[in-house]
Copies of this chain bind each other. A is one copy, B any other.
Amino acid sequence: MSKKAIVLLSGGLDSATILYMAKDQGFKPYGLIFDYGQRHSREIDHARRIARAAKCEAKVVHFGMPWLGSSLLDKKQKIPTRKRIKPHEIPSTYVPARNIIFLSFAMSYAEAVKAEAVFIGANAIDYSGYPDCRPDFMKAYQTAARKGMKAGVEGHSIKIYAPLIKKTKAQIIQAGFKLGVPYEMTWSCYRGLKKPCGDCDSCLLRSKGFEDAGYEDPALS
């Protein structure tokens, strides 16, 4: 029986890439998708489609964050364009403790199905500056989970893999094309419109990534 991994799927290109990386490393992937009131809830359908394409079972966890605290949740706030974000500023699209919450559900799922790994597409190079995407957070979270979970206490703790964390967007895309990631199915835009807006942080990181990688973005053709 192959080893199992929970893979956090957002519908974006990073998480689609790690799904194919997990498979490539011999893991049987279990997708985990979140419906948390994000204004770009369109990404949920994209995540489901990507999971189906990869023949990966996927579960959706639904929850609300009634305190909002982010322009990604609060429709009264505007999504900032890239040029409106100051250098070193954590932008308003930051969702308080989002990856902490996502990882916590993933660890729970992993423990319940006896998976030995959790894959997360966090990236700390071409990213929006969110603190919960950085290596020292991942390391500290791994320690906390080991101490707080039955699996950890019993000596078979669940390992967190963040294989993209030190890669540029271009490197991610190049690796993904080699693995056959269906980038045409991915969605990155923070705005919940019918087409990607092209000027939010996420759209710009994506288009620059494809440009630097030397590929056309198949989602735009």
Binding site for B on A (CB under 8 A): 59, 61-70, 90, 94-101, 104-105, 107-113, 131-132, 134, 136-137, 140-141, 143-150, 152-153
A22 to chain B, nearest CB (A): 18
Q: Which residues of B contact A107 (CB under 8 A)?
A: 96-97, 100
A60 to chain B, nearest CB (A): 8
Q: Which residues of B contact A136 (CB under 8 A)?
A: 147
Known A-B contacts: A67-B112, A69-B111. Give 19 more (CB < 8 A): A59-B66, A62-B64, A65-B108, A69-B112, A94-B150, A96-B108, A97-B105, A97-B145, A97-B149, A98-B108, A99-B148, A100-B108, A104-B104, A132-B148, A136-B147, A137-B148, A140-B144, A141-B148, A143-B144
Q: Which residues of B contact A132 (CB under 8 A)?
A: 148-149
Q: Which residue of B lies closest to A36 (CB)?
A: B63
CA distance A73 to B110 in the complex (A): 16
A73 to chain B, nearest CB (A): 9
A218 to chain B, nearest CB (A): 32
Beta-carbon contact of B59 and A150 below 8 Å: no
Beta-carbon contact of B150 and A108 below 8 Å: no
A100 to chain B, nearest CB (A): 4
CA distance A104 to B107 in the complex (A): 13
Most chain B Cβ neighbours within 10 Å, of A62, A104, A145: A104
18 contacts between A and B (CB under 8 A): A65-B105, A65-B108, A65-B109, A70-B112, A96-B110, A96-B149, A96-B150, A97-B105, A97-B108, A97-B148, A97-B149, A101-B105, A104-B104, A132-B149, A140-B144, A140-B147, A140-B148, A144-B144
- Indicate whether A97 sits within 8 Å of B101 (C-beta atoms), given known contacts A62-B63, A90-B150, A152-B131: no
Beta-carbon contact of A100 and B149 below 8 Å: yes
Q: Which residue of B lies closest to A97 (CB)?
A: B108
